[in-house]
Structure 1
Amino acid sequence: MARIDFAFGAQDRLRTACEVVRKHHQQGRLLLIYCSQAEFLGQFDQLLWSFEPDAFIPHVDADDPLASCTPVLLTTRPPEPAMHTQADTQPVWLLNLDAACPPTAHQFERILEIVSLQQGDIEPARQRWLDYKNDGHELHAHDLSARKPT
């Protein structure tokens, strides 16, 4: 089963997700970012290019020809660690931006969840927490509400 880390209380879910991606990219981790809604994932894609003027996070769609040499992949398809060709050398972490649990959660060692203070974000996150718990995953909660906005 996966270890699921929920970061609750983010001021801005997508900006916080960008910061999380940057942190893990700098640590050399392979990341797969999942959201079944193409428009929402497209917004996140654009924000990854622009959230900080000096931040560079190489990322492409999992179906892009450059995916084999890119550490951060985005997908609207059910995520699988094998989408990363380097998955045989190191684990792939999943950042779930979808409203529901990824249908393939059991295939990942680590899943990251970001939850904002907006009510429309909190209720789906509570359901994901219950779904993960019922599936036997290891859950961890991190409170971001005391952090100063960047």
Structure 2
Amino acid sequence: MAEILFYHLQSRPLEQVLPTLLDRSLARGWKAVVELSSSERLAALDDHLWTYADESFLPHVTAADPDAPNNPIVLTTKPDNPNGAQVRFCVEGVRIPDALQDYERVVLMFDGDDPDALAAAREDWRKLKTLGASATYWQQDETGRWEKKA
């Protein structure tokens, strides 16, 4: 079963945090799939990943790209795994997938200032604990550093 990480965003938004985590995944030799809840957010994140830093480059495509299976990072709005990724990022309200066995790591990133996102993350945490899954919970401090809380 996958290693499951919950990332509680507070002081920095998804657009600042996700590129670093994607870079780390690529450094491990992993492919990544990022699932978003809407095509509008997918388009915005797609644009952002091309321009988020002058000194960095994150090779990625959307699942609509015919070359998606050959790319290290694929953005999608569906629960599929178009590039055979080892790590799945669930963002923008996407819930933890049932197919945990398909990944080495599953990362749920949620906005701590959004009551609905917080409630959904708590529900996913309880569900995983009921299944006996191992999960860790990380929260940003005021400087944006991650602290393991559970």
Determine if the TM-score, normalized by the shorter chain, exceeds 0.5.
yes
Superimposed CA distance per residue, residues 17-37 of structure 1 (whole angstroms, 9 cap, x where no aligned partner): 122112222332210111232
Counterpart of 1:105? 100
Q: Aligned residues, how many?
A: 142
State how far apart, in whole Å, the 1-side matches of 2:42 and 2:20 are. 16
- Contact 2:92/2:110, CA 8 A, preserved across alignment: no
State how far apart, in whole Å, the 1-side matches of 2:20 and 2:96 are. 21
Q: 2:111 aligned with 1:116, yes or no?
A: yes
Which amino acid in the other structure matches residue 142 of structure 1? W
The share of aligned pairs that are identical, in percent, is: 23
- Contact 2:92/2:109, CA 8 A, preserved across alignment: no
- With the length of structure 1 as denominator, give the TM-score of the two structures: 0.78
Between Structure 1 and Structure 2, the one with more helix by share is: 1
Which amino acid in the other structure matches residue 51 of structure 1? Y
Counterpart of 1:92? 86
State how far apart, in whole Å, the 1-side matches of 2:92 and 2:111 are. 13
Counterpart of 1:70? 71
Q: 2:36 aligned with 1:35, yes or no?
A: yes
State how far apart, in whole Å, the 1-side matches of 2:128 and 2:80 are. 16
State how far apart, in whole Å, the 2-side matches of 1:6 and 1:34 are. 15
SS at 1:19 equivalent:
helix
Which amino acid in the other structure matches residue 112 of structure 1? V
**Cα shift at 1:15:** 2.0
- Contact 1:61/1:74, CA 8 A, preserved across alignment: yes
State how far apart, in whole Å, the 2-side matches of 1:50 and 1:130 are. 37
- Contact 1:8/1:145, CA 8 A, preserved across alignment: no
Structure 2: runs of 5+ lacking an equivalent:
146-150
Structure 1: runs of 5+ lacking an equivalent:
none
**Cα shift at 1:139:** 0.6
Which amino acid in the other structure matches residue 87 of structure 2? W
CA RMSD between the two structures: 2.3
Distance 1:31 1:122, change over 3 A: same
**Cα shift at 1:2:** 2.1
Which of 138, 141, 148 lines up with 1:142 in the alignment? 138
* More off after superposition, 60-69 vs 39-48: 60-69
Structure number with greater CO (CA < 8 Å, separation at least 6) is: 1
